[in-house]
Amino acid sequence: MSLVISTISLGLLWSVLALGVYITFRVLNIADLSVEGTFPLGAAVAAALIDKGAAPLAAVAAAAAAGMIGGALTGLMHTKLKIPALLAGILTMIGLYSVNLRVMGKANISLLGMDTMYSRMEEMGLSKEVAVLAAGVLVVAVIAALMYWFFGTEVGMSIRATGQNPQMIRAQGVNTHHTILLGLILGNALVAISGALIAQNNGFADVGMGIGTIVIGLASVIIGEVLFGARSFKNSLIAVVLGSIVYRAVIAAVLKLGMSPNDLKLLTAVLVALALSLPLMKEKILAAKGGGANAAR
Amino acid sequence: MLRVEKVSKTFYKGTVNEKVALDNVSVQLAPGDFVTVIGGNGAGKSTLLNAVAGVYPVDGGEGRIYIDGRDVTKMAEHQRARYIGRVFQDPMLGTAAGMMLRENLALAARRGKRLGLKWGLPAGETAFYKERLRALDLGLEERLDAKVGLLSGGQRQAVTLLMAVLQRPPLLLLDEHTAALDPKTAEKVLQLTEQIVSENNLTTLMITHNMRDAIAMGNRLIMMEEGKMIIDLAGEDKKNLTVARLLEAFEQVSHKSFTQDTALLSK
Ligand SMILES: Nc1ncnc2c1ncn2[C@@H]1O[C@H](COP(=O)(O)OP(=O)(O)OP(=O)(O)O)[C@@H](O)[C@H]1O
Ligand SMILES: [Mg+2]
């Protein structure tokens, strides 16, 4: 029972990362690797502040702000300096590695025994387990609701259109530099928030905790879309959150079956590679049967 | 309404691939002018429209572009968009496929306006969109919530055309907007074009590869070759124009014989 609850809780905390990746990868149509730097950045900022006695919520807010700056750097390099998005993200990621070490002053900070978001809720009489679950539900509900609202506004609509067809939206008078920048800022804010939440749950922030986060985010997005559909924006948001929980369940299951934790990243990478090639493979199989869209060409 | 003065555009300037796509072009359109533009492949037609739309900057120097009296030469593409409605050759380019028809129209209805955090799809606008879609006579008024990617190429071009004129722009630019459609659909979209342009009295530049369409439509015809305007017919000359007369005029001004360069134009 407790494994189920902790899996769901972890899935929720990580789903904030997945929602951030959804903004860059699906809405903006950019594979943004800054995530690998902004996730530990969020963790580092939150941990360093909590270590200095800051209120946990304020620490999370500061983490979000730091994530925004990270996303803005990638966005500015991509739009103003015309550096390809993938490379701009890698530069941010690498640069942030040093920044994260500076922020923490060392390779990791332990939060054991300190005041975290969850310990604050425990003081209200909840068990640690329920506290994390409640915090996860609350945070994800607020973020998903805000995203649903924002991407339905005029500005949000123009960001979605930018990811789909930048030429079209420029012809409608929108500065795509601004929309891309804004999307990267928002996506990385969520990623950093996720880092801050995870660090408090783990009881530490570590400079290496960003490795593979982009793949975890992609896995959650894709698993969610495959299992729960992407008919509408609202549907996609729910699917991504559920996808993150399913991903955590898969991890918990294979660990339980005796897989070495060291092999998890390989498993995730293979999963994402398979999922990303799914559309192509479907087409190939259909074509082999003589009914595919490309078969006639 | 549109004034292009001594505009040149050179691609890959200073390299072995240097290409003068527009060579000191000047042209002026009066309000309500409907100009058809023809010319062989690579003549510079698209470059002219793209230069006006601000897709890329034109060569520095004395070249100037004015829309509605405003100097837009230095304006970015998105800043000029408020003055210009555009339809592209590729039906995929004019709309966002994964967004609803309603959302595409809402974005077009806000072209050039300051976007804010207001809800993008106010219920009050539905009636307006329906009315405008009904005028297209394609049954699209019932499909406001359909993703545009589900529409046919012809329907998407009709929608793009509607989006382009939703705010009655000072200038409408059409770049072979029916070239990717089957003949019947192309016919229908051309009809809609004539109807919309004349109803709104829009100043229009329309590129076409079809000489008959170029002759039949509009009140003025321009032929381009090697980055220059070599023929510009208006008024009675344009009204009485036939394919034979156009070919004759072409052979007079061009150093090439018709078949060599312009055979790609379909009569
Ligand atoms: N973005 C670009 N980069 C480099 N060269 C370009 C670009 N756009 C056009 N050209 C070149 O400029 C010349 C004019 O091209 P343009 O597209 O204006 O021709 P066009 O008259 O529209 O021809 P078509 O009928 O084939 O569409 C061509 O030689 C083309 O190769
Ligand atoms: Mg062209």
CA B86 to centroid of ligand 2, rounded, Å: 14
pLDDT for A186: 98
Over residues A239-287, the pLDDT tens digits come to 999 999 999 999 999 999 999 999 999 999 998 898 888 878 888 888 8
Q: Is the pLDDT reported for residue B258 higher than 70?
A: no
User: Which residue type does B66 have?
Assistant: Y
Over residues A171-188, the pLDDT tens digits come to 999 999 999 999 999 999
Average pLDDT, chain A: 94
Q: Is the pLDDT reported for residue A134 higher than 50?
A: yes
- The ranges assigned to domains in chain A are 2-207
pLDDT for B252: 82
Distance CA A269, CA A216 (A): 8
**Number of domains observed in the structure of chain B:** 1
Q: Is the pLDDT reported for residue B114 higher than 80?
A: yes
Say which of A160, A164, A175 has its CB closest to residue B78: A175
Q: Which is the closest atom of ligand 1 to the Cα of B12?
A: 4
Over residues B146-180, the pLDDT tens digits come to 999 999 999 999 999 999 999 999 999 999 999 99
Over residues A7-20, the pLDDT tens digits come to 999 999 999 999 99
B150: contact with A, CB 8 A cutoff: no
Domain presence at residue B136:
no
Mean pLDDT along residues A133-139: 97
Q: Is the pLDDT reported for residue B115 higher than 90?
A: yes
Over residues A277-292, the pLDDT tens digits come to 887 888 888 888 765 4
pLDDT for A276: 83
Domain presence at residue B51:
yes
User: Which residue type does A75 have?
Assistant: G
pLDDT for A178: 98
CATH number at residue B234: 3.40.50.300
**Other Cβ atoms closer than 10 A to A53:** 9
Over residues B200-249, the pLDDT tens digits come to 999 999 999 999 999 999 999 999 999 999 999 999 989 999 888 888 88
Over residues A49-86, the pLDDT tens digits come to 999 999 999 999 999 999 999 999 999 999 999 999 99
Query: Residues lining ligand 2 (ion), CB within 5 A?
Result: B 46
Nearest-neighbour CA in chain B from A72: distance (Å): 20
| CA–CA distances in Å: residue B218 to residues A61, A122, A191, B135, B177 | 60, 76, 55, 21, 15
pLDDT for B266: 54
Domain presence at residue B35:
yes
CA B115 to centroid of ligand 1, rounded, Å: 34
pLDDT band at B87 (very low <50, low <70, confident <90, very high): very high
Mean pLDDT along residues A83-96: 98
Domain presence at residue B142:
no
- Kindly identify the ligand whose nearest atom is closest to the C-alpha of B175: 2
SS (H, E, C) chain A: CHHHHHHHHHHHHHHHHHHHHHHHHHHCCCCCCCHHHHHHHHHHHHHHHHHCCCCHHHHHHHHHHHHHHHHHHHHHHHHCCCCCHHHHHHHHHHHHHHHHHHHHCCCEEECCCCCCHHHHHHCCCCCHHHHHHHHHHHHHHHHHHHHHHHCCEHHHHHHHHHHHCHHHHHHCCCCHHHHHHHHHHHHHHHHHHHHHHHHHHHCEEECCCCCCHHHHHHHHHHHHHHHHCCCCHHHHHHHHHHHHHHHHHHHHHHHHCCCCHHHHHHHHHHHHHHHHHHHHHHHHHHHHCCCCCCCCC
Average pLDDT, chain B: 92
Domain presence at residue B126:
no
pLDDT for A237: 98
Distance CA B55, CA B61 (A): 18
Domain presence at residue B67:
yes
B110: contact with A, CB 8 A cutoff: yes
3-state SS, residue B18: coil
Over residues B18-71, the pLDDT tens digits come to 999 999 999 999 999 999 999 999 999 999 999 999 999 999 889 999 999 999
pLDDT for A297: 38
Domain that holds residue B226: 2-20+31-99+150-264
pLDDT for B248: 86
- B126 close to ligand 1 (CB < 6 Angstrom): no
pTM of the full predicted structure? 0.92
- B228 close to ligand 1 (CB < 6 Angstrom): no
Domain presence at residue B132:
no
pLDDT for B255: 64
pLDDT for A287: 85
Q: Is the pLDDT reported for residue A295 higher than 50?
A: no
